Chain A
């Protein structure tokens, strides 16, 4: 089965309402059978579902999720948003903007976009809805803000890029800082853009007196303690970014207990919720990995490479083509698959054209951030779906469009001004 047919069948199954996890594995299976035969294709199921199920790297997902859920259960989350709301309620889209900044803050302790989104979604979605934000804007802000998890250091994806291309990981981390900050600013612009498109997404309450604002601020201490503990623990080397997830979850449970909120029923709900989200996400990842093998065996990247070579567009032309390519691939693949499949193929072409390898790493990661929020396979949007099952998927996808738009602008900006990526790593 040629890959274009595979992609069409995949879309057909997804739109026919087949769960995404199984649409991916079904198309992958048929495709792989057509290339390597029945028995090896079937055996690949055992291999992928067993090996990927035991992934240490992915273990941060349930643990950060658990932390986020206990932050909600403890009441810290709503107090945090009470405070943010008290200070920002009269600013248009203030809470959504605060959510973006909070996502960036969380991204600085967490190397994974999925975990960032899952945690922040659980914390901020209910709060934003409570203060009158529409589902569309609230969910889209978190889904987009969460993508920063892989750009702002630490980042699992940058480590993998560094090893694949033999670049200095420390430099890559530094290079991600400024584009991450630009991402925050652009997303804040996107919030305004969304509200301009859909003014009905938000009420506009009165400004609160200072006394009330200060009173609401007292609640942030719990969140601050946990954040400093997790961030500090990573930066003094007390634990790794992966272990930080477990330490953070433990800390959140402790705070919940200290606040007397660790009731049996609520705790059971929180745990069950974490388990469900984990399982649903992992099954999509398994399907995505099987589908990746089909794409890989079908020679899609080889075709892409020969197209790029055939068009012979010059350095800027090639980079612009790559944006289109990443946008298309990003619609269908999840992030790790994207990196594994594209970087080994594209890196030699791009470095041959004279682009800086550190710069290209950041370009690839920003392009990969897009894959988390573009339909139909947008993992961050799926996470929002699990956090708030009653919000239709297409509504979230519609909501993220302004964010996708500013992400493309950010890519163009990084192409026009590579200095933004390179200034920090080159000055160290």
Chain B
């Protein structure tokens, strides 16, 4: 079963490409902002005696944003690292079952992570946790991470149910 030979496979390829493009643009903006934060902070500190207030917090939040925004596209490409020493030799039904089981573990774990990030958001939202200097509210950050994990879980579930072939991380 190779990608693109069936109608479903064809649509999967197109979907994967679209997802990669959207993720590339979103994470690209975040990464450039991440670089910009350090530049503005250091240059401001030395040349204007005005460091960027809360630069370390922005850095933390931007890194987190990159990590979770990148997740759905990675899941769609089965891009998490696996050891395929034994599984590479599987063929036919055995391979289908192995891919299905591995994906189901990912679905369950991502589902739990999503649920608990949401709960965590509710907990810290109840008393309004913010960052130290910028007072940026953190509950929405946890909820956004939760939604992205849920989306990723749904994607992997779809891959498992439709028995789509394993993705190859390809060009944008």
Contact, CB under 8 Å: A271 / B35: no
Task: Identify the closest chain A residue to B169 (Cβ).
Answer: A389
Shortest A299–chain B CB gap in Å is 25
Bound-complex Cα distance A66 to B63 (A): 12
Which of these, B42, B84, B120, B171, contacts A239 with CB under 8 Å?
Answer: B42
Which of the segments B3-11, B19-27, B157-165 contacts the partner chain? B19-27
Task: Identify the closest chain A residue to B24 (Cβ).
Answer: A272
Which of the segments A17-25, A166-174, A329-337 contacts the partner chain? A17-25
Shortest B18–chain A CB gap in Å is 13
B135: interface (CB < 8 Å): no
Shortest B99–chain A CB gap in Å is 8
Shortest B66–chain A CB gap in Å is 5
Which of these, B32, B56, B83, B120, contacts A46 with CB under 8 Å?
Answer: B120
Which of the segments A51-59, A106-114, A203-211, A301-309 contacts the partner chain? A51-59
Which of these, B24, B38, B101, B106, contacts A16 with CB under 8 Å?
Answer: B101
Which of these, A13, A18, A23, A271, contacts B32 with CB under 8 Å?
Answer: A271
Known: A50-B120, A276-B74. A62 touches B66 (CB 8 A): yes
Contact, CB under 8 Å: B80 / A20: yes
Which of these, A49, A279, A389, contacts B113 with CB under 8 Å?
Answer: A49
B46: interface (CB < 8 Å): yes
Bound-complex Cα distance A198 to B16 (A): 39
Shortest A312–chain B CB gap in Å is 38
Known: A46-B142, A269-B24. A276 touches B73 (CB 8 A): yes
Inside 8 A of B39's CB, which chain A residues have their CB?
A: 246-247, 250
Contact, CB under 8 Å: B24 / A249: no
A47: interface (CB < 8 Å): yes
Inside 8 A of A53's CB, which chain B residues have their CB?
A: 63-64, 67-68, 145
Bound-complex Cα distance A283 to B56 (A): 21
Which of these, A17, A382, A393, contacts B98 with CB under 8 Å?
Answer: A17
Contact, CB under 8 Å: A17 / B82: yes
A147: interface (CB < 8 Å): no
Shortest A141–chain B CB gap in Å is 20
By secondary structure, the A interface counts as helix
Contact, CB under 8 Å: A46 / B82: no
Inside 8 A of B123's CB, which chain A residues have their CB?
A: 46
Contact, CB under 8 Å: A56 / B59: yes
Inside 8 A of B113's CB, which chain A residues have their CB?
A: 25, 45, 49
Contact, CB under 8 Å: A283 / B112: no
Which of these, B24, B41, B142, contacts A271 with CB under 8 Å?
Answer: B24
A257: interface (CB < 8 Å): no
Which of these, B28, B88, B101, contacts A275 with CB under 8 Å?
Answer: B28
B134: interface (CB < 8 Å): no
Bound-complex Cα distance A45 to B117 (A): 7
Inside 8 A of A268's CB, which chain B residues have their CB?
A: 24-25, 28, 172
| Number of A-B residue pairs having CB atoms within 8 Å of each other in the complex | 211
Contact, CB under 8 Å: A272 / B60: no
Bound-complex Cα distance A275 to B31 (A): 8
A348: interface (CB < 8 Å): no
Contact, CB under 8 Å: B63 / A19: no
Bound-complex Cα distance A272 to B110 (A): 22
- We find that the number of chain B residues with CB closer than 8 angstroms to chain A is 69
A176: interface (CB < 8 Å): no
A278: interface (CB < 8 Å): yes
Bound-complex Cα distance A53 to B112 (A): 17
Contact, CB under 8 Å: A283 / B67: yes
B12: interface (CB < 8 Å): no
B130: interface (CB < 8 Å): no
A342: interface (CB < 8 Å): no
Contact, CB under 8 Å: B80 / A19: yes
Known: A23-B105, A275-B70. A280 touches B80 (CB 8 A): yes
Shortest A57–chain B CB gap in Å is 10
Known: A14-B83, A247-B39, A247-B42. A49 touches B117 (CB 8 A): yes
Bound-complex Cα distance A389 to B80 (A): 10
Bound-complex Cα distance A44 to B112 (A): 11
Known: A46-B116, A284-B81. A15 touches B86 (CB 8 A): yes
Contact, CB under 8 Å: B105 / A247: no
Contact, CB under 8 Å: B23 / A19: no
Contact, CB under 8 Å: B31 / A271: yes
Bound-complex Cα distance A19 to B119 (A): 25
B71: interface (CB < 8 Å): yes
B14: interface (CB < 8 Å): no
The interface bits of chain A over 30-47 (1 if a CB of B lies within 8 angstroms of the residue's CB, else 0) are 000000000000111111
The interface bits of chain B over 68-92 (1 if a CB of A lies within 8 angstroms of the residue's CB, else 0) are 1111011000011111111110000
Inside 8 A of B67's CB, which chain A residues have their CB?
A: 53, 278-279, 282-283
Other than A55-B63, A62-B34, A239-B38, give 12 A-B pairs with Cβ distance below 8 A.
A19-B82, A45-B116, A50-B141, A59-B34, A246-B35, A271-B27, A278-B63, A279-B69, A280-B70, A385-B81, A386-B81, A392-B85
Chain B residues with CB under 8 Å of chain A are 20, 23-25, 27-28, 30-32, 34-39, 41-42, 46, 56, 59-61, 63-64, 66-71, 73-74, 79-88, 98-99, 101-102, 105-106, 108-110, 112-113, 115-121, 123, 141-142, 145, 149, 168-169, 171-172
A-B pairs, top 6 by smallest CB distance, nearest first, are A246-B38, A46-B120, A275-B27, A279-B70, A19-B80, A271-B28
Q: List 17 A-B contacts (CB under 8 A).
A: A17-B83, A18-B82, A18-B105, A22-B106, A25-B113, A46-B116, A50-B142, A54-B63, A56-B60, A269-B24, A272-B23, A274-B31, A279-B74, A280-B80, A283-B71, A284-B81, A386-B81
